[in-house]
Amino acid sequence: MKFKFRFAEQIVGLFVLISLILVCVALILIGINKRWLRDDLVYTSSFPSATGLRSGMSVTLRGFKIGELQTIELDDDNMIGVSFVIYEEYINRVVGNSVIELQANPLGLGAQIAFYPGIEKGDSLQEGSFIHSTATAEGRRLIKEGLVDKDSSGDIIVKILNDADEMVLSLNSLLITLDETLLGYNPGPVGEILDSLGKVIPGVSAVVEDVQVETLPEVGAILEDIKKITQSFALLARELETVEGIVPKMLDPKGSVATFLDDDNKLFNQVYGILDELQNSMKEVRELMEYLNGLSPEISSLVEGTGATIDEAEKVLQGLKNNPLLRGGIEEETPQDSVSTSIRDGEF
C-alpha cells in the first residue's frame, strides 16, 4: 500500500524559508552584538608589558563598559602596542589628555582597562589617535598635573597595588641613578663632585704623609724640651712654697740677696734684665704652644697643661720683679772703717 503526500514540495519549501529567516535573524543579532552596523572609532596606546592584556577585554569608564580591546602586538621600541574601540555613543568622552590604565584584580578574577577622560572639554579625538597609558611617563605626568578626570572610587586593593607599582618604579629609577652616580657614570653635579673628590684624596694623603715624616720628629724634640722646662718650673714652684725655700732666705738681712744687692744695684739690674729676657722667652714658648696646638691635635692636652704651668711661672716672675725687696733694694749702710772682713767674705 503506497502513501502519497499531496503537498510535500510545499512543506519542504516552507521549512527552507523558515530556515533562511532564522539564519537572517541570527546574522542580524550577531551583527548587533558585534556592532557591525555601528560607527565605532579605534584608538591606540602602549604598555611596557603584555601581562594581563588580552583581546576582547573591556574598556570601562567608572565601571561602565564603553569599548573593548582589539589587538595586541610588539612594536619596534619593544613596547606593547594595543588598539581598542570606543563605542559610537561614547565618542564625545574621548578628548585631549585622556589616559587609560590596566587594572588587574589581585585575586586573579580578571582584568579591565579603565578609561580616564581629560578634564578639558573640547572636540573628540580623531580615529587612530594615540592615548597614553598610566604605565608611561607621559600618562603619569598628566595625572600628577591634574589634567585627567580620574575617579577616586574603585577597588582599594587594586589602587594600593597600582600605587605600589609606581613606587617600585620610582625607587628603581632612584637606585639606578644613585648607582651610576657612585660609579662616576652620571654627568650631573654630584658625579662631578665625587670625581673631583676622588682626585683630591690621593693628594691629601700624600701631604699628610709628608707632614708626618717631616714634622713628627721635630714635634717630638720640642715636646721633650717642653717637658724639661715644665719640670724646672715645678721644682721652682715647690721651692717657693716651702718654709725654708728661696723667699725666707731672700728676706734674711744676712742672706745672699742682701749681700748681692750691696753693690749700687748693679747685680739687681743684671737680674732684672735676665728676668725680662726670660719673660720674653716665655712669650715665645707660648706662641710655639699655640702653633703646636693647631698643628697636632694629639698633643693638645699636653700643650694646654704646659700653657697653664707657663702662666703660673709668669705670675711668679712678675711677682719677683714687683717684689719690693728686689725693686727698691736694701738700704745702703753707712760705710765704717773696720779691720774685720766684710760681709761678702763671710760664710753663708
pLDDT tens, per residue, the chain with 348 residues? 455 556 677 777 888 889 899 998 888 888 776 666 567 789 999 999 888 888 889 999 988 899 999 999 998 888 999 999 998 888 888 998 999 998 876 555 668 899 999 988 878 888 889 999 988 889 989 988 989 988 755 555 556 666 676 677 778 877 887 777 666 666 666 666 666 666 666 666 676 777 666 677 777 778 888 888 888 777 777 766 665 555 566 666 655 566 655 656 666 677 777 887 888 878 887 877 777 666 666 556 665 666 677 777 677 667 666 665 555 444 444 555 544 444 444 444
Distance, CA of 288 to chain centre: 40
Longest CA pairwise span in the chain (Å) = 202
Cell numbers for 125: 579625538
| DSSP bridge pairs for 132 | 99
- Domain residue ranges of the chain, discontinuous segments joined by +: 41-150, 210-331
Cell numbers for 288: 710655639
Residue 84 dihedral angles phi and psi, to the nearest 5°? -145, 155
Whole-number Å distance between alpha carbons of 345 and 231: 34
Q: What is the value of pTM for the model shown?
A: 0.41
Q: Is 102 exposed, middle or buried (0-12, 13-18, 19+ CB in 10 A)?
A: buried
Whole-number Å distance between alpha carbons of 336 and 276: 36
Residue 311 dihedral angles phi and psi, to the nearest 5°? -60, -45
Whole-number Å distance between alpha carbons of 193 and 197: 6
Pairing of strands 111-116, 58-61: parallel
Question: How crowded is the C-beta side of 226, counted as CA atoms within 13 Å?
Answer: 23
Whole-number Å distance between alpha carbons of 314 and 113: 90
In 167-286, at which residue ranges do the beta strands (DSSP E only) sit?
none
SS3 104: strand
Whole-number Å distance between alpha carbons of 189 and 195: 10
In the block, residue with C-alpha cell 744687692:
261
What residue type is 243 in one-letter code?
V
